[in-house]
Amino acid sequence: MPMWKASMLLLALVGAAAGAAQAGTYETQQLSDCPGISAGALRDEVRKVGSAAGLDLPKDMALRTELHCSADAKGRFVYTVRAAIEKQLADGEILRWAPVAQLTGFGTAAGSSAVLRQVGFTVRDVIRQEP
C-alpha cells in the first residue's frame, strides 16, 4: 500500500498535517481566507489533482498549498496560490522542511470555481517538477 504524505497550508505558518493512507487520500489542516471557497472544496481539488497525477510521495516529503484571495470591487477574486513539494531534513537535532519544487501563481478569476481550477493547474505544474 503506497504511503501518501500531504499537507495543506493556508495562511502563513499553519502546521503541516501528514499521514499514511491509501492512495488518493490526504489528511490536511487548513484555514481559508477566501470568501466563498470552503476548506473542504480546496482540499478536494488538491486530492483530485494528486490522484489524477498518481502522486506518491515518500514518508519524509509533503505537498503544501497556500491560497490567499480577496474579492475586488467588481466581485472578481484576486488570488495568489503557492504549491510546493517539500522534503523533511534533519540538521542535527532540528527537523526542517526544504522545498524540492515550488511554483507560485497569481491573477484574477470570475468566481470561486475558477480560483479552484487555477489551484489545480498550479498543483499539477508543481507535481510535474518533482524530481
Segment 18-72, tens digit of pLDDT: 333 334 333 344 556 788 888 788 888 888 988 898 888 887 888 888 899 888 8
**Which residues fall within 8 angstroms of residue 93, CB to CB, at 6 or more apart?**
none
Residue 114 has pLDDT above 90, yes or no: yes
> What is the grid cell recorded at 115?
480560483
Query: What pTM does this model have?
Result: 0.72
User: Strands across the sheet with 77-91, in order?
Assistant: 61-71, 77-91, 94-109
Location of C-alpha cell 510546493: 84
- CA-CA-CA-CA dihedral for 71, 34, 44, 9, to nearest 10: 140
Range picked from 6-20, 21-35, 102-116 for highest mean pLDDT: 102-116
> What is the grid cell recorded at 96?
526542517
With CA atoms as reference, report the closest residue to 88 among 11, 3, 16: 16
